[in-house]
Structure 1
Amino acid sequence: MLNIATLGPKDTFSDLATKQYIQAIQAKEPLQTTHIQYYATLSQTFEAIGKHCQLGVLPIENLSEGYVQVVLDQLLDTKLSVISELLLPIQFSFVGFCEQISELTDLYVQFVAHGQCSEFINGLEGVQIHMTQSNIESLVLAQKKGKTAGAIIPQHALSQASDAKLIDNDVTNYRNNQTRFLVLSETAQARIQGKEYKTTLVVNNKQDCPGVLGNIVSAFALQKVNLTSIMSRPTRSQIGNYHFFIDIDGHQEDAHISAALTEIQAQYDVTVVGSYIKAINTNGNK
C-alpha cells in the first residue's frame, strides 16, 4: 500500500493533484494500491512524509501569487527528494448563503486562495474576512455560520454547496490561473532517458558572503544552464542574510549542470532537492 500525504479534507486542489498523480502511477503499475492521508495544514502534510506516508503532494507555486512560503521554508532544510511535479488549472467560485450580496457579513477563504481572488474580495464592503487552511474548510465554516456567510471555493466543489443562495461561478483574478505541485519522497527517483527534466536546489548562504547571487548566476550562465526561477528566503540568523531556492532546466547528472554545481559547491553549501520529469503545461492562454 502506497500512503500519500496531502492537504485535506477531500476535494481540495491538493486532493485533485494527488489523484492526478495516482492515475499516472496506476497507468504504469495497475496493481499498485494507494491511500490518501489528509492533513489539516501544509506543515503537517510535509512532516508526515517519511514518517506516516511514503509520499506527499504539496503546492509550491501559483501563477499569480508566486511561491507558497510555508512549503518553501520546509524545503530549505529537508532530506526529502522531489520526484515529480504537477500543473493543475485553478478556478474559484463564490457561494453565499444569503439572499443578496448586501446581506453578506462574513467571508471564508483559504489563505493562498485569498490572493488569487483578491479583485472580487476587495470589491466587498463591510465584510469580515476569515482565513482558513483549506478551501473545503472555507465552505464548511460558511455553512456553519449560516445565512449571512459566504465562501470562496474551488469550482469543482460547487456540488457540495447545493444550499447556497448566491453563486458567482468564477471569481479568480486570472482565467489561466494554475498551481504547480511537487511530489516528495524519502527516495530519489531513477533517471529515465529521453525525458525532459527540471532540477530544484537550495544554496545556503550561512556565511553571509558578498556576491552570492552574482556568483551563482555566473556559474550557471557559463555552462549555459537555463534558470527558470530564483527565490530568496531569509536564513533567520540575521537581517539581510538569505538562502536561494533555484529551479533549473535539466538533470543534475547532465554534464553542464554537474560542472556548474561543482563550481558553486566549492564556495557554498548546496542541497539538490531533486531532479524530476518536467510537467507539460496544457493550460494554454485561455
Structure 2
Amino acid sequence: MSIDPEAPVRRTYSYLGPAGTFTESALAQVPEAREQIWRPVRNVGEALADVVEGRSDAAMIAIENSVDGGVSTAQDALATMPGLRIVGEYLVPVNFVLVARPGVRLEDVTLIAAHPVAYAQCLQWLSEKLPEHAHIPAASNVASAVGIIDGVSDAQAAIAPPGILEHYDLELLAEGIGDNVNAVTRFVLVSRTVAAPAPTGADKTSLIVELPEEYPGALLELLEQFATRGINLSLLASRPIGDELGRYRFVIDADGHIEDERMADALLGLRRFSPKVIFLGSYPRADRAIVHYPERYSDDVFVEARDWLRGLISGEPDA
C-alpha cells in the first residue's frame, strides 16, 4: 500500500479511557483533536509519559473537581515530570447515571458498583432511593459498568458517566443521581514545552512553587508576590514534596498571562524567593471570563515605572 507523502499527519491525543469517560468528554471539546487519533490509557502518569516520550502530541487530564478539590495525582505528576506545558483548559459537568444490564429494574438492585469518589457524590440519592443497597468499589467510573456487562462483578447496577450509554448496551435506571447538580471537573490539555499562546485578556497562568526552608511568614511572602501586583489566585493547593516532613510545594492558578507586565514581574519575584518555580503555562480560561484588575497594575504603569528608574540611573532630569 502506497502512502501519500502530502497527506496531513494525524495527531495523537492520550486520555483516561476506555471510551465513555468524563476525560473523553473533555477531549471532545478540543476542535483540533477532532478526526485525530485518540489513545485511551489507564492513568494520568501514563498519559503524560506518552507526551514526554513522544507517543502522543498531547494528553487530556483532570486537574480539579469543584466538589473534591485538586486531583493530587495530576498535580504531583506535573511537578515531577519535566518538559510539559498546559495549553488549554476545559470544563465538564459531572453528572452520573445508574445503569444495569438490559432487563434489570431499579427495585432489583441491592448491590452497586462504583468508583469511591462517584459513590460519595451520589450517596444522598442512593440513601433515599435504595436505602438497603451495598457498594462494591470499582477502579473507574467506566470500569464499574464494564464489570456488570462482562459478568465479572456481582453488582446488579453501576454508577457511571452518561457517555457510557453511547458505547455499551445498558439499561438506564436513573439519571442525574449526583447530589450536587453544579459539580464540575476541570481538565487541562498538556503538550510538550511550547511557547504560550498569545494573551486574550481572559487567561490563566499555572505554576508550581516550592517554599524555601521553613520560617515564619514564608507562605505569606509567597502570596505577596501576587497580592502586591494585583493578581488574583483562583487555586492554591499544597502538596508535600516528599523528601522530608514539613516541606511543601504549592500548586497555583493565577489570573492573567505571562506576557502581562504584572504577571511577568510576579514571576521574577517568585524566582528570587523560591528554590524552584515550575511554569506550567499561560492559556485561555475555559469560561472566557475577562480578567479585571485595578488600573494601577496595568501594563502601562509597569512600563512607565521602569522608564522612570532607567532615567534616574542615567542621570536624566526629573520631568
TM above 0.5: yes
Structure number, greater radius of gyration:
2
In structure 2, distance between residues paired with 1:16 and 1:103: 28
* Structure of higher RCO (CA pairs closer than 8 Å, 6+ residues apart): 1
* Structure 1 residues 101 and 53: alpha-carbon distance in aligned structure 2, compared to 1, 3 A threshold: same
Q: Which moved more, 1:114-123 or 1:193-202?
A: 114-123
Q: Which residue in the other structure is 2:202 paired with?
A: 196
Residues 32-59 of structure 1, C-alpha deviations (whole Å, 9 max, x = no match): x621111022222222113211100001
Q: Which residue in the other structure is 1:29 paired with?
A: none
In structure 2, distance between residues paired with 1:179 and 1:67: 10
* Structure 1 residues 174 and 15: alpha-carbon distance in aligned structure 2, compared to 1, 3 A threshold: same
Name the SS of the counterpart of 1:76 in structure 2: helix
From 68, 71, 74, the equivalent of 1:71 is: 74
* Structure 1 residues 103 and 152: alpha-carbon distance in aligned structure 2, compared to 1, 3 A threshold: closer
From 265, 272, 287, the equivalent of 1:280 is: 287
Name the SS of the counterpart of 1:49 in structure 2: helix
From 18, 28, 34, the equivalent of 1:19 is: 28
Q: Gapped runs of 5+ residues in structure 2?
A: 1-9, 290-319
Structure with more strand by fraction: 1
What is the aligned-residue identity percentage? 26
In structure 2, distance between residues paired with 1:90 and 1:252: 31
Q: Which residue in the other structure is 2:86 paired with?
A: 82
1:138-217 aligned within 5 A: 138-145=144-151, 148-160=155-167, 162-164=169-171, 167-205=173-211, 207-217=213-223
Q: Which residue in the other structure is 2:113 paired with?
A: 108
Q: How does the TM-score come out when normalised to structure 1?
A: 0.85
In structure 2, distance between residues paired with 1:122 and 1:36: 38
2:139 pairs with 1:132? yes
Q: Which residue in the other structure is 1:9 paired with?
A: 18
Q: CA deviation at 1:5?
A: 0.6
Residues 217-236 of structure 1, C-alpha deviations (whole Å, 9 max, x = no match): 11211111111110000111
1:222-237 aligned within 5 A: 222-237=228-243
Q: How many residues align?
A: 272
Q: Gapped runs of 5+ residues in structure 1?
A: 27-32
Name the SS of the counterpart of 2:273 in structure 1: coil
Could you tell me which amino acid in structure 2 is paired with residue 129 of structure 1? I
From 43, 58, 63, the equivalent of 1:60 is: 63
How large is the RMSD of aligned CA atoms in angstroms? 2.4
Q: How does the TM-score come out when normalised to structure 2?
A: 0.77
